[in-house]
Chains A and B, each alone.
Chain A
Amino acid sequence: MQHLQSTLAEIRPEFDFTQSDDFIRDGMLDSLDIVMLVSALDKRFGISIAGIDIVPENFQNLAAIDGLVQKYRPQ
């Protein structure tokens, strides 16, 4: 989870992502931020998030993003 927070902080350093349960509603991540986040997550975790999973609900909060990353990490 700490990796996720630091990745998010690189994209939007002005926000504290532990203080929100809906990053989209609270204006902390926009559509292009999500693109940049996916690119950063792919690189950081050595995964390739499929295009069909790049939807706002998978980036709503830390738990959602963590769930997405875990889906692609080798078990």
Chain B
Amino acid sequence: MLAVVPANTRSFVDEMENFNFPRSRSLKLKQVMGYDQHRIVDGEVCSSDLACFGMEHLFKLGLVDRDCIDALIVVTQTPDHFLPPTSSIIHGRLGLKQDLFCLDITQGCAGFVIGLLQSFMMLDQENVRKVILVNVDVLSRKISPHDRNSYPLTGDAASITVIERSEDEATIHANLKTDGTRREALMIPAGGFRMPSTASTAVLEDDGEHNLRAKDHLRMDGTAVFNFVQVDVPPLIEDLLRTAGTCVCDVDSFLFHQPNRFMLEKLADRLNIPYAKMPSNVVEHYGNSSGVTIPVAITHNLRETLLSSSIKACLAGFGVGLTWSSMLLRLGPLNFCDLLEFS
């Protein structure tokens, strides 16, 4: 597994002047939410740029043979273009073979678990032996720098996970839910066909809480999303553990999507998960990079462990859609587990 984060680092304190709030209030928020710095792309860097940078690194080190890839899955909400698919762009830029299944999946925070599920299904095909799963988003480019609710916690990143068949007979348990009736809790209203981008959709408007954003920008209903995570995610995890015949005490690490430290600690409290088992430090170092936060959490926190041993891990992603998913599996030992800077 490889995570790629932009070298470009911005600190919350430096960006506070962009927010329409007194400095003292912003500093209190920093303390509670765990904001410190986030990694965001510079200029017009796109999803395929981060992904190809990571892949070329793996090719160069001989960790992946470009001619041995049978499937490429790209999970992203920030495609380079409407057309062609970002997986096709990456395929072309990397000079991959034509006998290769390329697939884009439009998913966000639940996208790593969904991508893994799709990868496992592909490996059921006889001629698919190696799947490259890319999770990537450059969402900072669609968030207003004047939106204190979203901008300081947003990060950009990519991850590359190589998935192959294994002789290991251990079962991987997973579950997944969707509720499209709450789809507007996380949304970019303009830019698609329902509301094409125009001069007026680029105009900044006050959201009623002194955040300024345009219809072209991400809009997050923080209260609805918080409530969704606290109400709907715990039963998903409890169902997963019950189906697997295990319990919190038998799981080594809970690698959850990283919205912010406050939300994760409340989730841990609800599930009786010791904080030591649930990393919550990704936002303060890198920001929330949507579906990539789980691989970033793994590569940042568990590199040494996973290079030499395996752990029983519970993964969970939850967010846009609304979609929530979880998986229980043995993770490691990995051939590589690293975090790289893109510049």
A35 — which chain B residues lie within 8 A by C-beta?
Answer: 29, 32-33, 226, 262
A31 — which chain B residues lie within 8 A by C-beta?
Answer: 149, 209, 222-223, 226
Q: Assuming A32-B29, A51-B230, is B223 touching A56 (CB within 8 A)?
A: yes
The answer to the question of A21 belonging to the interface, with a C-beta cut-off of 8 Å to chain B, is no
The answer to the question of A52 belonging to the interface, with a C-beta cut-off of 8 Å to chain B, is yes
**Out of B148, B229, B267, which one reaches A32, CB within 8 Å?**
B148
Most chain B C-beta atoms within 10 Å of own C-beta, residue among A31, A48, A50, A56: A31
**Out of B32, B231, B267, B269, which one reaches A39, CB within 8 Å?**
B32
Mark interface residues in B13-53 (1 if CB within 8 Å of A CB, else 0): 00000000000010011001100000000000000000000
The answer to the question of B227 belonging to the interface, with a C-beta cut-off of 8 Å to chain A, is yes
Name the residue on A nearest B222 (C-beta): A31
B29 — which chain A residues lie within 8 A by C-beta?
Answer: 32, 35-36
Bound form: Cα–Cα A31–B223 in Å: 6
Are A54 and B226 in touch, CB under 8 angstroms?
yes
Mark interface residues in A11-47 (1 if CB within 8 Å of B CB, else 0): 1100000000000000100111011100100000000
A30 — which chain B residues lie within 8 A by C-beta?
Answer: 209-210
| Majority secondary structure, B binding face | helix
Q: Assuming A36-B29, A39-B262, is B269 touching A48 (CB within 8 A)?
A: yes
Are A55 and B32 in touch, CB under 8 angstroms?
no
The answer to the question of B263 belonging to the interface, with a C-beta cut-off of 8 Å to chain A, is yes
Are B230 and A52 in touch, CB under 8 angstroms?
yes
The answer to the question of B97 belonging to the interface, with a C-beta cut-off of 8 Å to chain A, is no
A residues near B, CB below 8 A? 11-12, 27, 30-32, 34-36, 39, 48, 50-52, 54-56
Are A51 and B267 in touch, CB under 8 angstroms?
yes
A11 — which chain B residues lie within 8 A by C-beta?
Answer: 25, 28
**Out of A34, A36, A52, which one reaches B28, CB within 8 Å?**
A36
Q: Assuming A30-B209, A36-B28, is B269 touching A51 (CB within 8 A)?
A: yes
Are A55 and B209 in touch, CB under 8 angstroms?
no
B226 — which chain A residues lie within 8 A by C-beta?
Answer: 31, 35, 51, 54
Are A55 and B270 in touch, CB under 8 angstroms?
no
Bound form: Cα–Cα A20–B209 in Å: 18
Name the residue on A nearest B22 (C-beta): A14
Are A50 and B270 in touch, CB under 8 angstroms?
yes
A55 — which chain B residues lie within 8 A by C-beta?
Answer: 223, 227
Name the residue on B nearest A56 (C-beta): B223
The answer to the question of B266 belonging to the interface, with a C-beta cut-off of 8 Å to chain A, is yes
Mark interface residues in B134-164 (1 if CB within 8 Å of A CB, else 0): 0000000000000011000000000000000
**Out of B149, B222, B270, which one reaches A51, CB within 8 Å?**
B270
Bound form: Cα–Cα A11–B149 in Å: 17
Bound form: Cα–Cα A48–B118 in Å: 38
Task: State the Cβ distance, B32 to closest chain A Cβ, in Å.
Answer: 4
Task: State the Cβ distance, B18 to closest chain A Cβ, in Å.
Answer: 16
Bound form: Cα–Cα A32–B28 in Å: 10
Task: State the Cβ distance, B108 to closest chain A Cβ, in Å.
Answer: 20
Mark interface residues in B264-282 (1 if CB within 8 Å of A CB, else 0): 0011011000000000000
